[in-house]
C-alpha cells in the first residue's frame, strides 16, 4: 500500500521510565507519479504486442527493470494504471476478456517460458481499442511496487475471431524484455 510520510516530534523530548509522552504527527501526502518508461522510438505491428489480433488470442509478458522505473521518476508505491499508446489499428474486434497481471521478480532478462504467480490487476470483458491515443487501463486492484524489484507485466485476451493489425511504439533493450 502507498503510505504517506510522517514526521513526528515528542513533547517533552526527554522521557523517563513511567512518564507520559505526547507525539504530534504531521502527515505529508504522497504524490502520484506519471511517466514513460523507455523512449518508444520504434514501431511494430508484430509480436510482442499487447493488442496483436492476427491470432484469435494473445498473451505477452514484459520485464521492466527497477532501474528503468527509477530513472523514469517512479518510486515505491501503488501502480494504479497502465497506459499503452496505440498508433493505429485496422481491427474491428474488441479484445475479449482483456486482462493485465503484474508481479515482481529478480529476473534480469525474460526466459523463454511463461512466468507464473502474477496478480490480476485489470480485466475488461470487451475492450475497444482507441487508435492514435494512449489506451489507459485503470486497475481494479492497485499493484504495490517496492521500488527495488523488477516488474513483470502480462497482457492477454481470447477472441472468437481474428483480423487487422495494430501499430505500437516500443523500445529496444539490451536484454530480453518481452515474451
Q: What would the pLDDT profile of 3-13 be if each residue is shown by its tens digit?
A: 444 444 445 54
The pLDDT of residue 75 is: 93
> By C-alpha distance, which of 102, 90, 97 is closest to 162?
90
To the question of pTM greater than 0.85 for the whole model, the response is no
The pLDDT of residue 34 is: 75
Neighbours of 85 (CB within 10 A): 15
By the 8 A CB rule, do 75 and 31 touch? no
149-176 pLDDT tens trace: 999 999 999 998 888 788 888 888 898 9
By the 8 A CB rule, do 109 and 176 touch? yes
- Gyration radius (Cα) of the chain, Å: 21
The pLDDT of residue 7 is: 41
The residue ranges of the chain whose pLDDT is under 50 are 1-10, 13, 15, 22-29
User: Residue 135: which residues within 8 A CB-CB, separation 6 or more?
Assistant: 51, 83, 84, 85, 86, 129
Whose grid coordinates read 487487422? 164
Amino acid at each position: 500500500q502507498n503510505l504517506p510520510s510522517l514526521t513526528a516530534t515528542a513533547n517533552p523530548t526527554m522521557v523517563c521510565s513511567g512518564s507520559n509522552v505526547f507525539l504530534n504527527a504531521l502527515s505529508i501526502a504522497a504524490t502520484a507519479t506519471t511517466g514513460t518508461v523507455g523512449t518508444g522510438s520504434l514501431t511494430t505491428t508484430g509480436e510482442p504486442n499487447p493488442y496483436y489480433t492476427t491470432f484469435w488470442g494473445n498473451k505477452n509478458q514484459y520485464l521492466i527493470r527497477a532501474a528503468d522505473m527509477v530513472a523514469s521518476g517512479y518510486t515505491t508505491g501503488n501502480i494504479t494504471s497502465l497506459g499503452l499508446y496505440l498508433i493505429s489499428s485496422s481491427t474491428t474486434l474488441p479484445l475479449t476478456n482483456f486482462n493485465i497481471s503484474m508481479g515482481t521478480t529478480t529476473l534480469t532478462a525474460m526466459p523463454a517460458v511463461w512466468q507464473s504467480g502474477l496478480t490480476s490487476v485489470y480485466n475488461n470483458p470487451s475492450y475497444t481499442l482507441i487508435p492514435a491515443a494512449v489506451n489507459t487501463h485503470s486497475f481494479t486492484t492497485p499493484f504495490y511496487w517496492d521500488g527495488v524489484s523488477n516488474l513483470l507485466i502480462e497482457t492477454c485476451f481470447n477472441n472468437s475471431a481474428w483480423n487487422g493489425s495494430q501499430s505500437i511504439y516500443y523500445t529496444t533493450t539490451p536484454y530480453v524484455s518481452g515474451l
